[in-house]
Structure 1
Amino acid sequence: MANRGFDISNIKVTTSQAELIEQGHALRKKVSFEELGTFTPVQRDPLLLIQRIADMLVPELLPERFRRMGASSFTFFRGTAELMAHDLNHQASTHIPVVISGDAHLGNFGFFASPERQFVFDLNDFDEAGVNSWERDVKRLAVSAILAGQEHGFGEKKLHHLARDVAASYQAGISASMKRTTLDRFYPANDVASLLKSIPENDPTTALVNYFTEKASKRNSEQVVKKFTQMTPDGLRFVDNAEITKHTNDDVTKHIGDYLAAYRETARTDIALMLSQYSITDVARHCVGVGSFGSRCYLVLLTSIDGSHLVLQIKEALPTRKSGAEHQLPLSATFEENEGRRIIDAQKILQSASDPFLGYFQSKNRSFYVRQFRDMKTSVDLTTLDWSQFQLYAAACGRLLAIDHCQTPTAPMIAGYLGDSKKFPKAIADWAQAYIEQVTTDYAAFLAVHPKDI
């Protein structure tokens, strides 16, 4: 079965960067900043779109998924990417195509180690990734900043200005990237050491960054083994934990040996060779988060010939929420074909450094991707940030998003469209503020059917 992922075979940009910038500048006459910043309400049933996604998930996990989504408007927003994806289809757009995250909210950035074991800060979720217009990511990031800030108790005026700051930081990131060579853009400086240099001396944010990186440094497979497993008469096994971790007897667990062999064929050659020293000790379904909770995710415990351990995470690669919500098609090998490859390709394109264990495989009816579980990875707990730290974090995400978008050859068109206009940040902030009302309405409709636990 072919695994095409992103078809880049026909992409060859022969137009000069200067010409692309001019094309982007000319787009302002077709799509003004005012149009880009005007939210057009969309008539649709949020519960129907949510249910179409739920129909693709494990039925017994849906109650816990809905409970998590109902915790706050921000967690609801995180768990319903299909709603905003649908709404963005009906908004003004520049239609400048780049590889986008598709779900670039504040919670989808984090710290992790490069293959050289240097800490970097970047996007870390690519389930919704694909080729689409760049402003979709910027708008989702700005909306998430307001929602997360509301959850934190920050004032409305502050958050509106913050949304402008996020957009301005993105704009500055695009401009700065265009001053670098193509090869330099390919090797962005997203390492934590560079991040710390940008923070004023004695700023308390430095201590916070060091805290998160130190926390990440303690995360490895042996730590996972201590936390998630126990010795049983049958050997080392994952501990069942209600809906979170559970031993199952489904297609993946029954054929895990065959599927891991298929995964090894897509992994880097050096990783595939190293994995030949490991044997399978245990496998269990393990679900976390909000947006992906309810999909088929697993942990695989591997034991090496020297007795050490490696834990891999297998995640179901569902079609993007946009596809899943708008097409009432049963899941099948045809429907999910290449989704794992799509996600892995996007991660390699957008991240400054990626997990060397990335790979994918196709089961009888579904698509999956594989990565190392928790290895030197951590996300920022937004509730621990004070206002100045929250501002810095949101702006950093905006700049990183721009750097990631500049991995696509059409990025100079974004630079031309944006220029140094002060109208762009205002447009994004206005759109995001208007969209908050839509999220609030959708959240209320959701709670009417799935009320919070009392």
Structure 2
Amino acid sequence: MANRGLDINNIIVNSSQTDLEHMGDKLREKVPFDALGTFKQTQRDPTLLMQRISDMLVPELLPERYRRMGVSAFTFFRGTAELMAFDLNHQASTHIPVIISGDAHLGNFGFFASPERRLVFDLNDFDEAGVNSWERDVKRLLVSVILAGRENGYTDKKIHKITRNVAKSYRAGIEASIKRSTIDRFYPANDVASILGAVPEGDPTAEMIQYFLDKAGKRNSEQVVKKFTQTTDAGLRFVDNAKITRHTNDDVTRNIIDYLADYRSTVRTDIALLLSQYHITDIARHCVGVGSFGSRCYLVLLTSIDGSHLVLQIKEALPTRKTGAERQLALTSTFEENEGRRIIDSQKILQSASDPFLGYFQSKKHSFYVRQFRDMKTSVDLATLSEDQFHVYAESCGRLLAVDHCQTPTGPMIAGYIGDSKKFDRAMTDWAEAYIPQVEKDYAIFLKNHPKEQALTESAK
């Protein structure tokens, strides 16, 4: 996959793990924690950057996208990764390259099934993934902790403590990962059964985990069929919903047979053989979430020779927000070429276990990736968590992020740079807290430019 200008191979060539840790330790002399933790104000037009992203999306979906973004500062933050990406380009950086999520906020972690049907907890969104400096993910995670904590009504003192502890959990995750062998790092134990087994009896966290375990276990393609389809004269069809689900006549829907054939050539041989037993029953455009709402996304209903069903989700693989916000070119097949592969490759690297149906294809103008829809997948509704549960959840995300970063061979450099210093925790927290006014300022500008969406938001409350 493309390395976005940061060459991992040149760093690790002829280097032992000890060498890499020493490189990271020495790097702290050039980029001290104080520098990494100091937010530098940038000069940019947030409206222009957001508009460049909007120009890549489906125009008729933008009002609903803006409504979702306008709900709170946190949902606005989730929908505008391009703003923070721009700002991070102008901050002090270690430039230690790893495969990063690129959008590691609290809402982008969740539960899903491994190929062995074990429920695991990990990162679950990779639209912005690629090679970049590790601290970008950490900073985005910590900012999301503060924004989500405020939305839940926690005190500033409590939010500060949680944020510091999330930074600490990332540091602990790096330290623990580097102590494991290379092959053991490749097989992290973050299945839910192991996590649940480590929780003390009577701990309220166990109840929370069990809830999500039960919820995810009920999600499969047949459940999707019951919820999203109806039987018509033309057969089983997705139910149209004006804001979310709609049958369209576009390039993807007209050529879905050919595109799915291209997709099958990118999956494992056993999955390709499995898919040969299904035929296409229906396809509809289906948009969800905040950050990706407005892009070209579809649900494909497949029916097997035995009458059972499989539902695949097709998502447009847009260039990363960092790239998209910097360009004013119209989308073309060349511009989006291999973006689907970038996302899928990053997901397979970062996740401890991935959906076996992951694949991608290229249409005439756009790049797409494919995965199962809702198969034992569920995310955490942060607003439903108690303060203690939120704290545990956020710390878990910090630790998992560290484990995922250590899938890249340069992970030992991060360990060498961070060391066992609590100064790292303070520096990351300082940066995140200093960045909050920037998010709030951008959010206020957004609401001023979209008064209709603000009115919708206020009426919803």
Relative to the length of structure 1, the TM-score reads 0.98
- 1:336 maps to 336
Per the alignment, residue 347 of structure 1 pairs with: 347
Is 1:161–1:429's contact at 8 Å kept on the other side of the alignment? no
Corresponding position of 2:92: 92
Q: Give the counterpart letter for 2:331 in structure 1.
A: L
Deviation at 1:14, TM superposition (A): 2.6
Render the CA deviation track for 1:139-179: whole Å, top value 9, x for unaligned. 00000000000000001111112111111000000000011
What residue is the counterpart of 2:310 in the other structure?
Answer: 310
**Which residue does 2:101 correspond to in 1?**
101
Verify the 8 A CA contact 1:5 1:338 in the aligned structure 2. no
Give the Cα separation in 2 of the matches to 1:224 and 1:33: 48
Residue 50 of structure 1 aligns to a residue in which SS? Answer: helix
Kept in 1, the 8 Å contact 2:103–2:140? The answer is yes
Deviations 1:291-331 (A, max 9, x none): 00000000000000100000000000000000000111110
Aligned pairs for 1:271-420 (under 5 A) are: 271-420=271-420
Q: When the two structures are aligned, how many residues end up with a matched partner?
A: 451
Whole-angstrom CA distance in 2 between matches of 1:125 and 1:170:
19
Offset at residue 243 of structure 1 (A): 1.8
SS of structure 2 residue aligned to 1:132: strand
Contact 1:6–1:345 (Cα < 8 Å) also in 2: no
1:21-420 residue pairs with structure 2 within 5 A? Answer: 21-420=21-420
Cα distance between partner residues in 2 of 1:260 and 1:27: 47
Distance 1:142 1:316, change over 3 A: same
User: Counterpart amino acid of 1:56?
Assistant: M
Percent identity over paired residues: 75
Structure 1 stretches of 4+ moved >3 Å: 4-13
Question: What is the CA–CA distance in structure 1 between the aligned matches of 2:162 and 2:13, rounded to whole Å?
Answer: 35
Once the 2 structures are TM-superposed, how far is the Cα of residue 204 of structure 1 from its aligned partner?
Answer: 1.2
Change (3 A) 1:153 1:83: same
The one-character-per-residue Cα deviations of 1:365-421 (angstroms, maximum 9, x if unpaired) are 100000000000000111111111111000000000000000000110000000001
Find the aligned partners of 2:36 and 2:442 in 1 and give their Cα distance.
22
**Which sits farther off after the overlay, 8-17 or 82-91?**
8-17
Query: Given residue 368 of structure 2, which amino acid in structure 1 is its aligned partner?
Result: F
Could you tell me which amino acid in structure 1 is paired with residue 289 of structure 2? G
Query: Gapped runs of 5+ residues in structure 1?
Result: none
Alpha-carbon distance between aligned partners in 2 of 1:385 and 1:14, rounded to the nearest angstrom = 47
Deviation digits for residues 349-374 of structure 1 (CA, Å, limit 9, x no counterpart): 00000000000000001000000000
Q: Which amino acid aligns with 2:327?
A: H
Compute the displacement of 1:198 (Å). 3.0
1:187-208 deviation line (CA, Å, top 9, x unaligned): 0001112211332220111011
**Match for residue 431 of structure 1?**
431
Query: How far has the Cα of 1:126 moved from its partner?
Result: 0.2
Q: 2:201 is paired with a residue of what secondary structure? A: coil
Indicate conservation of the 8 Å contact 1:5/1:339, yes or no. no
Q: Distance in 1 between matches of 2:406 and 2:217?
A: 29
396-405 or 194-203, which deviates more: 194-203
Please give the alpha-carbon distance, in whole angstroms, between the structure 1 residues aligned to 2:391 and 2:26. Answer: 33
* Residue identity matched to 2:95: H
Question: Is the 8 Å Cα contact of residues 56 and 331 (structure 1) preserved in structure 2?
Answer: yes
Q: 1:191 to 1:67 in 2, by over 3 A?
A: same
Equivalent residue of 2:66, what SS? Answer: helix
* SS of match in other structure, 2:265: helix
Residues 415 and 352 (structure 1), Cα distance of their counterparts in 2 relative to 1, 3 Å cut: same
Secondary structure at 2:325 match in 1 = helix
Distance across 2 between alignment mates of 1:271 and 1:342 = 20
The answer to whether the 8 A contact 1:5-1:341 is kept is no
Give the distance between the partners of 1:167 and 1:242, measured in 2 at CA: 42
Taking the aligned partners of 2:347 and 2:13, their CA distance within structure 1 comes to 22
Q: Is residue 170–residue 402 contact of structure 1 (8 Å, CA) maintained in 2?
A: yes
> 2:2, 2:32 → 1: CA distance?
33
Equivalent AA in structure 1 for residue 73 of structure 2: S
Deviation at 1:10, TM superposition (A): 5.8
Contact 2:111–2:378 at 8 Å: present in 1 too? yes
Equivalent position SS for 2:408? coil
| Aligned amino acid, residue 53 of structure 2 | I
CA distance in 2, matches of 1:220, 1:5: 34
Aligned mates of 2:100, 2:385 — CA distance in 1 = 27
Deviations 1:179-224 (A, max 9, x none): 1000000000011122113322201110110101110110000000
One-letter amino acid matched to 1:130: G
Cα 1:277–1:5 shift into 2, 3 Å:
farther
The alpha carbon displacement at 1:6 in A equals 6.1
Matched to 2:432, the amino acid is A
Does the Cα contact within 8 Å between 1:301 and 1:309 map onto a contact in 2? yes
Whole-Å separation in 1 of the counterparts to 2:97 and 2:276: 40
- Name the Cα RMSD after superposition: 1.2
Amino acid in structure 1 at the alignment position of 2:80: T
**Distance in 2 between the 1:82 and 1:392 partners?**
28
SS of the aligned residue for 1:230 comes to strand
User: In 2, Cα distance between the equivalents of 1:265 and 1:9?
Assistant: 29
Residues 1:369 and 1:108: Cα distance change in structure 2 (over 3 Å): same
For residues 327 and 163 of structure 2, the distance between their equivalents in structure 1, rounded to whole angstroms, comes to: 33
Distance in 1, Cα, partners of 2:414 & 2:13: 15
- SS state of the match for residue 326, structure 1? coil
Gaps spanning 5+ residues in structure 2: where?
none
